[in-house]
Amino acid sequence: MRIVILEDDHDQADLLVAWLEEAGHQCDVYHDGNAFIRAYKQDSYDLALLDWMVPKLSGLEVLQHLRSHLDSVVPVVFITQRDAEEDIVEALQAGADDYMAKPVRHMETMARVNAIARRMGFGDENTSDSYDFPPYKIDTRLRHVSVDDQIVEMTQKEYELTLFLFKNVGRVISRGHLLEMVWGTSSQLNTRTVDTHVSRLRTKLQLDNQEDWQLTSVYRHGYRLENLG
């Protein structure tokens, strides 16, 4: 997964990054709430880990801004020293998905992250043989996509991009996010590769002729696949 961390304790941030990257995740770290918000306006992530007591904007204010303006669905986990029951309730009612009190432990932290990853469908290609998004069907065993039961000829990268977009229906996904998760390359590289592949998918998946599906470009950000039906 692509994970963003809000943590002003550099040692704590480095520890989380080490655990997460060892498990194969990509991480970005920000040390104050304003920097986090600025970055999120230009990018997208699969999971956010938030400390509560950080400079500029608190973790709770960041969560409220995320849910109201930036990303209503990204899973959010608080990792903070605030462990009073009323704090936990407030964060969960504001839209957090989980809450961990510091000091956090390696195995527990990774178990919670892995639980969220499973819920989001990461790594489930070997457990789910197909996805149905009428008129589209994605066969993860044979690694092909069909439209109205007709198999679409596409490269493996086009297949992987299709699968990732459909597993994130309704979300704005940045070009950098797509580069990292589909191509496995740095989000700092040339993003024209993404634009070229998206253009091909629009044609191959006949998206311009579909009433129920729309793949749109979001200015200065990325793409959103929507189900309009």
Q: What percent of the chain has pLDDT over 70?
A: 95
Pair 109, 199 in one domain? no
pLDDT tens-digit profile of 44-87?
999 999 999 999 999 999 999 999 988 888 999 999 999 999 99
Pair 108, 89 in one domain? yes
Pair 146, 206 in one domain? yes
Taking the C-alpha atoms of residue 116 and residue 75, their distance in angstroms, rounded to an integer, is 8
Mean pLDDT score, 101-130: 83
Quick check: is 89 in a domain? yes
Quick check: is 171 in a domain? yes
Pair 115, 7 in one domain? yes
Three-class SS string for the chain?
A: CEEEEECCCHHHHHHHHHHHHHCCCEEEEECCHHHHHHHHCCCCCCEEEECCCCCCCCHHHHHHHHHHHHCCCCCEEEEECCCCHHHHHHHHHCCCCEEEECCCCHHHHHHHHHHHHHHHCCCCCCCCCEEEECCEEEECCCCEEEECCEEECCCHHHHHHHHHHHCCCCCEEEHHHHHHHHHCCCCCCCCHHHHHHHHHHHHHCCHHHCCCEEEEEECCCEEEEEECC
Q: How far apart are the first and last CA of the chain?
A: 29
The pLDDT, as a whole number, for residue 123 is 65
pLDDT at 187 over 80: no
Pair 171, 90 in one domain? no
57: CATH: 3.40.50.2300
Report the relative pairing of strands 47-50 and 26-30 from DSSP bridges. Answer: unpaired
pLDDT tens-digit profile of 159-170?
999 999 999 998
CB atoms within 10 A of CB 151: 12
197 pLDDT tier (thresholds 50, 70, 90): very high
Q: Which of 100, 120, 140 is the last residue of a domain?
A: 120
Q: Say how many domains are in the chain.
A: 2
Mean pLDDT for the chain overall = 91
Pair 75, 144 in one domain? no
128 pLDDT tier (thresholds 50, 70, 90): low
Pair 140, 103 in one domain? no
Quick check: is 11 in a domain? yes
Quick check: is 9 in a domain? yes
Quick check: is 112 in a domain? yes
Pair 74, 8 in one domain? yes
pLDDT tens-digit profile of 18-30?
999 999 999 999 9
Quick check: is 198 in a domain? yes
pLDDT tens-digit profile of 30-54?
999 999 999 999 899 999 999 999 9
Q: Which of 69, 90, 120 is the last residue of a domain?
A: 120
125 pLDDT tier (thresholds 50, 70, 90): low
- For 157, the domain range is 130-227
Quick check: is 69 in a domain? yes
